[in-house]
């Protein structure tokens, strides 16, 4: 199994959107990430896998500006998320495992309000277009999201990302709790964002879903990015080999 991407991204490459370079990070006296190097370019989907405690959530926190690196550099579209948090967050969308929406508002109202909070105005037609592209049934546009399933909530969140046209998207366990049909639909939606040139970082335990959508899969082990595998050929990934790698990592940390 190859451990190197066929398209190496260098510091001079202007296409990368999410960049963590030689990052050491942690909480209090505990180091979580050790010399993390992770770059994701425009139009690329990157799946980051690892056992619990490997540093996946810490990696997201770096790009969101919730955690400052002890050493190294983090950039979102060239912006330091610690020095300029508001500016960095304007360049990314974040979908957590459990999508947080305003329960008493409709799908259309949620998108309109969240766009407004982001400083972006969008008319009704534009919002409806985004909701339609995200696969939400038109009959649900004016329904309160309090009664939505997880899959429907994710469609609203994807519609927001489509409407915002941000260069980067962060996903935390996006397919957790979804049935196979909803997972397939979600992966289709990621394809729409990829076509828009969005750089997508997907933190997940779902190896099969990652293999379906990712251009590269990285494995975190004890805070180190120990391996990267790039999609190649018609079959994209050797899923059996990936599973052996992932299962072996889980056994070592158990």
Q: Could you say which residues of the chain have pLDDT below 70?
A: 1-15, 248-254
What is the tally of structural domains in the chain?
2
pLDDT digits (tens, 9 = 90+) for 103-146: 999 999 999 999 998 888 888 999 999 999 888 999 999 999 99
pLDDT score for 113: 93
Give yes or no: residues 83 and 192 share one domain. yes
Give yes or no: residues 70 and 160 share one domain. no
pLDDT score for 140: 96
Distance separating alpha carbons of residues 250 and 244, to the nearest angstrom? 10
CATH at 203: 3.40.50.300
Q: Which domain holds residue 244?
A: 16-91+167-253
The answer to whether the CB of 142 falls within 8 A of the CB of 106 is yes
Query: Which residues lie closer than 8 Å to 110 by C-beta, 6 or more apart?
Result: 101, 102, 145, 156, 160
- Of 124, 144, 165, the one marking the end of a domain is 165
CA atoms within 13 A on the CB side of 117: 11
Tokens of 124: 């009704």
Q: Report the predicted TM-score, pTM, of the whole model to 2 decimal places.
A: 0.85
Give yes or no: residues 67 and 114 share one domain. no
What are the distances in angstroms from CA 215 to CA 52, 154, 226, 230? 23, 22, 17, 6
pLDDT score for 205: 87
């Amino acid at each position: 199994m190859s451990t190197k991407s066929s398209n190496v991204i260098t510091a001079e490459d202007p296409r990368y959107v999410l960049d963590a370079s030689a990052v050491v990070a942690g909480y209090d006296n505990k180091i979580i990430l050790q010399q993390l190097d992770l770059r994701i370019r425009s139009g690329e989907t990157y799946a980051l896998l690892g056992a619990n405690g490997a540093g996946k959530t810490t990696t997201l926190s770096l790009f969101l500006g919730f955690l400052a690196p002890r050493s190294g550099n983090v950039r979102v579209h060239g912006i330091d998320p610690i020095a300029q948090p508001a500016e960095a967050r304007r360049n990314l969308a974040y979908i957590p495992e459990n999508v947080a929406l305003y329960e008493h508002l409709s799908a259309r109202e949620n998108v309109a309000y969240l766009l407004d909070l982001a400083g972006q105005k969008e008319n009704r037609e534009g919002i409806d277009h985004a909701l339609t592209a995200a696969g939400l049934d038109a009959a649900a546009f004016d329904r309160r999201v309090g009664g939505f399933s997880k899959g429907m909530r994710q469609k609203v969140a994807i519609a927001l990302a489509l409407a915002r046209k941000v260069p980067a998207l962060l996903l935390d366990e996006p397919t957790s709790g979804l049935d196979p049909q909803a997972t397939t639909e979600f992966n289709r939606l990621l394809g729409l964002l990829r076509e828009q040139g969005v750089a997508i970082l997907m933190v997940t335990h779902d190896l099969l879903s990652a293999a379906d959508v990712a251009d590269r899969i990285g494995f975190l082990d004890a805070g180190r990015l120990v391996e990267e595998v790039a999609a190649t050929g018609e079959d994209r990934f050797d899923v059996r080999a990936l599973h052996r790698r992932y299962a072996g990592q889980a056994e070592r940390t158990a």
